[in-house]
Amino acid sequence: MSEEVISSPYSVRTGTFEGPLELLLSLIEQRKLFVNEVSLAEVTNDYIAYIKTFSDTSSEKHIADVSYFILISATLILIKSKSLLPNLSLTDDETEKITDLETRLKLYKIIKSASMEIGNNFGTKIIFMPNERIWSEPIFSPDPLITSQNIGSSIMEVIAHLPKKAEKIPEVEVKKIINIDEIINSLTDRIQNAMNLSFKEFTRSSGAGNQEEAKVHVIISFLAMLELVREGIIDVMQNSSFGDIEINKQQEALEIRPLELQN
């Protein structure tokens, strides 16, 4: 996986992607790859690098959609881990998630090209419908339903269904969730203090709040750990399936420095 360390030629521009699938498909297509596990593992780092830009910008659109990107990143990290740690065994649920992501990408790819065709044809040749018209003079034909009271309650219902301004997830929350650098640094610190550290212990001590947050935290911690493995700073061992992962500092790693994930 040496090509991942050098600066990626497949740079992604911030703000151009509507959703995680569009981003993923674009990363895969830039490399002229098919949609499968191998290509997904290959684009994981660029995907994460893109997500990281969310915490640097305060774009409202990003923040509203960040959770969708994070959800997909969890599956991507599974795929990536599988490719880095061949012994890693996955649960049925996890395998299904991977297959599901592949399917979604395939569906999205088909829709994407169909959508381009639609865009090319939309409005170029229109079958117009006739002008709105009534054929004879209107005859006033009221309905007993038209009373002040009914009209009043109708309008209240209309108002109840008015579009609300999009609710924003507070920016601080998002930053808290996706700050990968911070987690890497914290992991590095802990390795300096103890030669052995259990992954479960690590994620627990990092203090996550609710369950959802904890899940995301585990994902990101795991990702951070894989990054450190890649950098040759730590070794990981999983003694049994579903067992805890043991983290060891590599003897050769002389200096531990904060890592920049985005090369």
Partner 1 sequence: MEISLESKIEGLLFYKGEDVSIKKLAELLKVSELEIEEGLKKLETSLAGRGLVLVRKNDSVVLGITSELSPLIESIRKEEVTKELSKATLDTLAIILYKNDTSTSSGVSRSEIDYIRGVNSSFILRNLLVRGLIEKITDAKDSRRALYRPTFETLSFMGITSIDQLPNYTQVRTQLQEALNNQTENND
Kindly report the length of the chain. 263
Encoded tokens for 145? 């339903």
Residue 146 beta carbon to partner 1: minimum distance, rounded to whole angstroms: 6
Decide: is 167 part of the binding site for partner 1 (CB under 8 A).
no
- Least separation in angstroms between residue 138's CB and partner 1 is 4
Sign for the CA dihedral angle at 143, 144, 148, 151 comes to negative
Residue by residue, DSSP assigns 75-106 as HHHHHHHHHH-TT----HHHHHHHHHHHHHHH
**Residue placing its CB nearer to partner 1 in the complex, 141 or 210:** 141
38 near partner 1, rule: CB under 8 A: no
Cβ proximity to partner 1, 2 vs 124, nearer residue: 124
Q: Are 230 and 4 in contact (CB under 8 A)?
A: yes
Give the C-alpha separation, 13 to 32, whole Å: 18
Check binding of 13 to partner 1 (CB under 8 A). no
Please report, as residue ranges, which positions from 75 to 134 form the binding site for partner 1 (by CB under 8 A). Answer: 96, 99-100, 102-104, 106-108, 110-112, 114-119, 121-134
Task: Work out which of 166, 172, 242, 255 binds partner 1, going by CB under 8 A.
Answer: 166
Q: Which residues contact 17 (CB under 8 A, 6 or more apart)?
A: 23, 26, 50
Q: Which residues bind partner 1 (CB under 8 A)?
A: 18-22, 65, 68, 72, 96, 99-100, 102-104, 106-108, 110-112, 114-119, 121-136, 138-143, 145-152, 154-159, 161-163, 165-166
